[in-house]
C-alpha cells in the first residue's frame, strides 16, 4: 500500500477516537484541556535543540505560517526570528489561550486565522511550520503538496514518535495489519511525491520525565518546485 493511501485508510477506519472526524468533539476536548495545556506537559520548552535547528534557517524579514498553532508554545519561541507570523488554529479554546499568552513586545506581528488548513484560502508565506498538527488530516499527501505550493523558502514539520505522545498509523487488511509511526509515514509520503527532505530524530525529555524521540522533517521548497 502506498504511504498516502495508508494515511487515508487509517483516517477512514478511525472509529474509536471520535475527535478525528467530529469537530464538535475536538472542540469539547480542548475546552477542558486548553487552559492547562502549557502547564501539564508541553513539548515546545523542551524541544530547544529542534527550535535552534529551525531558527538557524529563519530570516528577520520572513513571513512564517504555522499550521495548528494550539496555545502558541512554538509560536512564541519562533517569533523573535521573523517579521510576521500567521497562525491557523481551528479550536476557539486554543485560540483564546494563544492570544492570552501572546506578548505584545514580540517584534513579529501576529495574525490568527480561525479555520482548518484544508479550509484556509490562498496564502503566501516564506516558511511553513507545524508541530504534531496532522492527526485529524484526512489526506496528508494533498496537505504536503499544498504546503510546498504555499511556502516560498522552507517547510519544517515536528512530529512526536511513539506513545503516549503520538499514536501510530494502523491499517488492517484482512488478516494482516500494517503499522507505522506518523513521522516515518510522512517521510514516505514525501518520497512518494518526490520531495527531497531531511529527517532528523531528537531525543527529548518532557516535563514529566518521559523520554521519547521527536522528528524534525524539513525541506527546501526552492529545490522541490516540481511535485506531481
In CATH, what number is assigned to the domain containing residue 191?
3.40.50.150
pLDDT at residue 228, as a whole number: 47
Considering the domain boundaries, does residue 227 fall inside one? Answer: no
* Domain count across the chain: 1
pLDDT at residue 227, as a whole number: 47
pLDDT at residue 172, as a whole number: 86
pLDDT at residue 29, as a whole number: 79
Considering the domain boundaries, does residue 155 fall inside one? Answer: yes
* pLDDT, tens digit, 9 for 90 and up, residues 62-104: 999 999 999 999 999 999 999 999 999 999 999 999 999 897 6
* pLDDT, tens digit, 9 for 90 and up, residues 13-56: 875 555 666 778 888 877 888 888 888 889 999 999 999 999 99
User: What percentage of the chain reaches a pLDDT higher than 90?
Assistant: 68
Between the CA of residue 112 and those of 65, 73, 94, 179, 184, what are the distances in Å? Answer: 10, 14, 11, 35, 30
Considering the domain boundaries, does residue 100 fall inside one? Answer: yes
Considering the domain boundaries, does residue 42 fall inside one? Answer: yes
- This prediction's pTM: 0.92
Considering the domain boundaries, does residue 133 fall inside one? Answer: yes
72: left (phi over 0), alpha (psi -120 to 50) or beta: left
Q: Is the pLDDT of residue 169 over 60?
A: yes
Considering the domain boundaries, does residue 190 fall inside one? Answer: yes
Domain extent, residue 94, equals 3-206
Positive/negative CA dihedral, 215, 221, 223, 228: positive
Q: What share of the chain is helix, strand, coil (3-state, %, to 5)?
A: 40, 25, 35
Considering the domain boundaries, does residue 211 fall inside one? Answer: no
Amino acid at each position: 500500500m502506498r504511504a498516502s493511501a495508508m494515511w487515508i485508510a487509517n483516517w477512514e477506519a478511525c472509529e474509536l477516537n471520535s475527535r478525528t472526524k467530529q469537530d464538535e468533539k475536538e472542540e469539547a476536548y480542548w475546552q477542558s484541556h486548553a487552559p492547562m495545556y502549557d502547564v501539564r506537559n508541553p513539548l515546545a520548552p523542551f524541544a530547544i535543540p529542534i527550535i535552534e535547528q529551525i531558527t538557524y534557517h529563519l530570516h528577520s524579514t520572513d513571513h512564517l505560517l504555522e499550521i495548528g498553532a494550539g496555545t502558541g508554545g512554538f509560536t512564541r519561541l519562533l517569533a523573535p526570528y521573523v517579521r510576521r507570523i500567521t497562525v491557523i488554529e481551528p479550536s476557539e479554546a486554543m485560540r483564546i489561550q494563544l492570544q492570552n499568552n501572546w506578548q505584545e513586545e514580540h517584534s513579529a506581528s501576529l495574525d490568527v486565522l480561525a479555520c482548518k488548513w484544508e479550509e484556509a484560502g490562498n496564502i503566501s508565506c516564506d516558511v511553513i511550520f507545524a508541530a504534531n498538527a496532522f492527526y485529524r488530516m484526512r489526506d496528508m499527501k494533498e496537505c504536503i503538496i499544498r504546503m510546498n505550493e504555499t511556502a516560498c523558502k522552507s517547510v519544517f514539520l515536528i512530529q512526536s514518535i511513539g506513545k503516549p505522545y503520538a499514536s501510530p498509523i494502523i491499517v488492517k487488511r484482512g488478516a494482516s495489519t500494517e503499522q507505522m509511526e506518523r513521522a516515518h509515514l510522512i517521510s514516505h509520503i514525501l518520497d512518494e511525491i518526490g520531495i527531497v527532505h531531511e529527517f532528523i530524530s531528537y531525543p527529548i525529555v518532557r516535563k514529566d520525565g518521559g523520554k521519547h524521540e521527536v522528528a524534525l522533517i524539513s525541506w527546501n521548497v526552492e529545490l522541490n518546485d516540481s511535485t506531481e
